[in-house]
Structure 1
Amino acid sequence: MGSTGGRRVGRPRAAHRAESGLTPREELLAVAAELFTTRGYAATTTRTVAERAGMRQASMYHYVSGKEELLAELLESTVTPSLAYARELLAQDTVPAERRLWELCRADVELLCGGPHNLGGLYLLPEVRTERFAGFHAVRTELKDAYRQLLAGTAAGGALAKSELDLRTDLVFGLIEGVILVRRSDPERPVSVFAEATADAALRIAGV
């Protein structure tokens, strides 16, 4: 998540706008999510984000350091909740690993597809490869490792060689992250139905 260190001091705007009920930072994130996924990250200026959020560009810097911080937080919002849930599932030793893996896949798809914007598409931005987004990559890597641990705990996964287990993990994780593109072609289908079907497919890929 972004840091507030080194930001300009002064008098910021009101705590929230009555129309939305969001805090200024929440509004900036909501606006950035819409603009980054519709206009494109490079084509979106900080001035446009600020004005769409109902504030001056200078006021924006009371809440975020700029576009990179907004993008970093949006990216992390697509993985952090799933990682927290994955940790809970890993601790549930009495539940079969097959069931826990299916549940993680289902919940992860619901997170990726449940929002109003295609945030998963931002993963492909060239800017995301830079060091500024190391936090996102660290969380994503930990989430992928949770998938690997759950897969290894299944009867099928436990019988695999390390290289094969790694490949199955890559395939399952790739399917989950790729659902945003599939979802766009069928946006009217209920997210819960789509998530359950994807989880079923992921377990077939895993060999379960």
Structure 2
Amino acid sequence: MGTSGRRVGRPRAAQRPDSGLPAREELLAAAAEMFTERGYAATSTRAIAERAGMRQATMYHYFDGKEDLLAALLEGTVTPSLRLARGLLADDGPAPAEARLWQLCRSDVELLCGGPHNLGALYLLPEVRAEQFAGFHRVRAELKETYGQLLAATESCGALDKRELVLRTDLVFGLIESVILIHRSGPERPVPVFAAATADAALRVAGVREEDLAAAREAGRNLA
């Protein structure tokens, strides 16, 4: 079963102090905390339910199990970026493609590294290759395709043949997702500064000239 269309209303055993979250979101918050701190394999559904302040049986009212919780968390790290990417791609305003690409890269890094838990690190779990995570991989592939479309619209990549454009897309998208490991090794870095620096690096990989980078960055910030 998927992670949407759940029934609502079954009461929880006890509410987590200072929470205020709906039951489903509380379970996701508990799972995120435990998966990133204790490890996915070492975390049981009972422990997640207890951390969220509810019975294990109640948890199964919202999620089928650990895989369902993990899939929902993973999709939550990609879906907002895909929504932004579609909007930037459809934008017919004066901002050049370089600025739109910069904003997408910056926002994507902030999403991957923001929040109290390094959810991006969950991408590295071997379990994520399983069939249950097909929805996450589908959304991620669509996001990568949108990166490629924005790259194709830039001046530096517009004349590339298909094979070269695919390579450039792989490099830029790989750079953005590499922040997962970099952030894990240095979580004290201010995320907004880290995100802007990574977006700058992505434009350099895309072939934007150094003398044009500042203008693309400024126009990208204005898109926020």
Alpha-carbon distance between aligned partners in 2 of 1:140 and 1:3, rounded to the nearest angstrom:
18
Asked if the contact 1:89–1:100 (Cα under 8 Å) also holds between the matched residues in 2, the reply is yes
Displacement of 1:63: 1.8
Q: List per-residue Cα deviations over 1:41-66 (Å, max 9, x = no partner).
A: 11111011011111121121122111
Which stretch shows the higher mean deviation, 18-27 or 84-93? 18-27
Q: Which residue of 2 aligns with 1:64?
A: 63
Displacement of 1:98: 0.6
Asked if the contact 2:16–2:52 (Cα under 8 Å) also holds between the matched residues in 1, the reply is no
Helix, strand or coil for the counterpart of 2:62? coil
Q: Which residue of 2 aligns with 1:188?
A: 188
Q: Which residue of 2 aligns with 1:178?
A: 178
Alpha-carbon distance between aligned partners in 2 of 1:144 and 1:25, rounded to the nearest angstrom:
29
Q: Which residue of 2 aligns with 1:19?
A: 18
Q: Which residue of 1 aligns with 2:76?
A: 77
Asked if the contact 1:157–1:207 (Cα under 8 Å) also holds between the matched residues in 2, the reply is yes
Displacement of 1:162: 1.0
Structure 1 unaligned blocks of 5 or more = none
Q: Which residue of 2 aligns with 1:169?
A: 169
Displacement of 1:185: 3.0
Asked if the contact 1:102–1:199 (Cα under 8 Å) also holds between the matched residues in 2, the reply is yes
TM-score for both structures, normalised by structure 2: 0.86
Alpha-carbon distance between aligned partners in 2 of 1:11 and 1:117, rounded to the nearest angstrom:
28
Q: Which residue of 2 aligns with 1:2?
A: 3
Displacement of 1:85: 0.4
Asked if the contact 1:4–1:64 (Cα under 8 Å) also holds between the matched residues in 2, the reply is no
Letter in 1 for 2:92: D
Displacement of 1:15: 9.8
Q: Which residue of 2 aligns with 1:35?
A: 34
Structure 2 unaligned blocks of 5 or more = 209-224
1:143–1:15 distance in 2 versus 1, CA, 3 Å: farther
TM-score for both structures, normalised by structure 1: 0.92
Q: Percent identity?
A: 75
Alpha-carbon distance between aligned partners in 1 of 2:109 and 2:81, rounded to the nearest angstrom:
9
Asked if the contact 2:12–2:53 (Cα under 8 Å) also holds between the matched residues in 1, the reply is no
1:117–1:153 distance in 2 versus 1, CA, 3 Å: same
1:88-107 paired onto structure 2 within 5 Å: 88-94=87-93, 95-107=95-107
Q: Which residue of 2 aligns with 1:154?
A: 154
Q: Which residue of 1 aligns with 2:214?
A: none
Displacement of 1:188: 2.4
Alpha-carbon distance between aligned partners in 2 of 1:18 and 1:43, rounded to the nearest angstrom:
24
1:98–1:4 distance in 2 versus 1, CA, 3 Å: closer
Equivalent residue pairs, number: 206
Helix, strand or coil for the counterpart of 1:51? helix
